Amino acid sequence: MQISRPRQPYSAVIVFLSLLISPLTLQVLICRNYKGDVDMAEIDHFLPLLMTQEEEGLTCPIMSHGNVHFLWIKHTNLYLVATTNKNSNASLVYAFLYKVVEVFTEYFTELEEESIQDNFVVVYELLDELMDFGFPQTTDSKILQEYITQEGTKLEVAKTKVPTTVTNAVSWRSEGIKYKKNEVFIDVIESINLLVNANGSVMSSDIVGTVKLKTMLSGMPELRLGLNDRALFALTGRDKGKTVTMEDVKFHQCVRLSRFESDRTISFIPPDGESELMSYRINTHVKPLIWIESVIEKFSHSRVEIMVKAKGQFKKQSVANNVEVRVPVPSDADSPKFKTSTGHAKYVPEKNLAVWTIKSFPGGKEFLMRASFGLPSVENDEMEGKPPITVNFEIPYFTVSGIQVRYMKIIEKSGYQALPWVRYITQSGDYQLRSNF
């Protein structure tokens, strides 16, 4: 028998730094030293390292000074920094830092300098519960809210017990939840990621779908979600029309993964309220829903002429809402002039963009926008990047992959009847078309 030598320590210190007006005054807002193996003063090296990297234009989420390593993320005007001097699990550290952001955001609506200052007692309490000696513990904010409350005085009586949920196998749902009317709302949202080359060929395109739940169910309901999943149909040998192949599926904590692995059944006890049940990725090549053709002509020292044609390549019955075509323009452009066949266009100089908005864009239609900008006679000699044209849109009542919720079975021992409601939306994800600009 081989003797194993595990060496997988976790992170040590979580530090919040705030960035105030001048980056030089970066200071520690709150910190928690979980393991005591890294000197708190080490954080003083963080800022100079960060500044050097930013000057070189080469930031990196991991930096080190001596044998101390800083793993950091930035959230609004805060830096969340974890420090370690071991070979820590880096993916765990980042996943945890993002979880911290999530929990604090749910507690304080916004995670920013002020909310931390105003609530520093709760912040300490939370940090105490979230991680112990570098090991992340309970990070589900719904559960945390049951025993760590913002109004310290109000709930003192209730706080004499640990909610069993904390250590339950079902650590995401408390017992004894009650609703008058039992309902569950299911949102199926598909985001289209697209990358099109300057010569109009699609370089990559995929669909990232998410299934979101808003659960308003009493007790401990047992749910089963049925999708038109091709792998499931292949297993059961049934063939009922259109099916969808999901390339990769990711589930919320609550879904029984081994069950899914063995027979593709999505079964779970849902968290109460809103949650993201699952996400999936589909590689099938779909026709870009909104196709953009653009001609951008730059006449040095005088003007830029932009012509953009947008075409809705989806069913005539469907309508894309809030379509926004964002066309990059040179940073030294001025005096914009626009002409559109529909919607309206405006110049957003702080982002160097011309934004063309179309409130409602029916399928099969084609619209045109022309813009012209003046350019100064003295040219900006700084090289400018070539940002792509990006498009935002939302098409309700439709999934581009054709995925469907076939059923949602809800069983609770009290035997109540519950109603599932389903809604479908397709929207733009990272939708980029490179231009010749």
Q: Is 386 one of the binding residues for other proteins (CB under 8 A)?
A: yes
Pairing between strand 303-312 and 366-374?
Answer: antiparallel
Size of the site for other proteins (CB under 8 A): 106
Q: Which amino acid is at 218?
A: S
**Residue choice 208, 244, 354, 395 for contact with other proteins (CB under 8 A):** 208
Residues 138-167: x/- map of binding to other proteins (CB under 8 A)?
Answer: xxx------x----x---x--xxxx---xx
**Residue choice 25, 77, 302, 341 for contact with other proteins (CB under 8 A):** 25
Q: Is 231 one of the binding residues for other proteins (CB under 8 A)?
A: no
**Residue choice 45, 49, 89, 362 for contact with other proteins (CB under 8 A):** 89
Binding segment for other proteins (CB under 8 A), chosen from 115-123, 292-300, 315-323, 334-342, is 115-123
In the region spanning residues 177 to 206, those forming contacts with other proteins, defined by CB under 8 A, are 195, 197-198, 203-204, 206
In the region spanning residues 1 to 20, those forming contacts with other proteins, defined by CB under 8 A, are 1-10
CB 334 within 8 A of CB 301: no
Partners of 362 in the β-ladder:
319
CB 190 within 8 A of CB 404: no
In the region spanning residues 389 to 418, those forming contacts with other proteins, defined by CB under 8 A, are none
Q: Is 377 one of the binding residues for other proteins (CB under 8 A)?
A: no
**Residue choice 45, 49, 65, 86 for contact with other proteins (CB under 8 A):** 86
Chain-centre distance for alpha carbon 80: 18
Identity of the residue, 67 or 77, whose beta carbon is nearer to other proteins in the bound complex: 67
**Residue choice 23, 48, 61, 364 for contact with other proteins (CB under 8 A):** 61
Q: Is 95 one of the binding residues for other proteins (CB under 8 A)?
A: yes
Q: Is 57 one of the binding residues for other proteins (CB under 8 A)?
A: yes
**Residue choice 52, 76, 132, 436 for contact with other proteins (CB under 8 A):** 132
Identity of the residue, 159 or 309, whose beta carbon is nearer to other proteins in the bound complex: 159
Identity of the residue, 51 or 257, whose beta carbon is nearer to other proteins in the bound complex: 257
Q: Is 333 one of the binding residues for other proteins (CB under 8 A)?
A: no
**Residue choice 46, 70, 96, 104 for contact with other proteins (CB under 8 A):** 96
Q: What is the DSSP string of 199-256?
A: TS-EEEEEEEEEEEEEEE--S--EEEEEE-BHHHHHHHT---S--B--SEEEE-TTB-
Instruction: Categorise residue 133: left if φ over 0, alpha if ψ from -120 to 50, beta otherwise.
Output: left
Pairing between strand 27-33 and 405-411?
Answer: unpaired
- Which run of H or of E encompasses 280? strand 273-282
Measured distance CA(186)–CA(405) in Å, rounded? 9
Q: Is 91 one of the binding residues for other proteins (CB under 8 A)?
A: yes
Binding segment for other proteins (CB under 8 A), chosen from 243-251, 306-314, 316-324, 364-372, is 243-251
Q: Is 58 one of the binding residues for other proteins (CB under 8 A)?
A: yes
Residue 406, C-beta contacts closer than 8 angstroms, at least 6 positions apart: 226, 227, 228
Binding segment for other proteins (CB under 8 A), chosen from 127-135, 311-319, 342-350, 409-417, is 127-135
- Which run of H or of E encompasses 82? strand 78-84
Q: What is the DSSP string of 281-338?
A: EE------SEEEEEEEEEETTTEEEEEEEEEE-S-TT-EEEEEEEEEE--TT-EEEEE
Identity of the residue, 308 or 319, whose beta carbon is nearer to other proteins in the bound complex: 308
Q: Which amino acid is at 337?
A: K
Measured distance CA(397)–CA(429) in Å, rounded? 17
In angstroms, what is the minimal distance from the CB of 219 to other proteins? Answer: 21
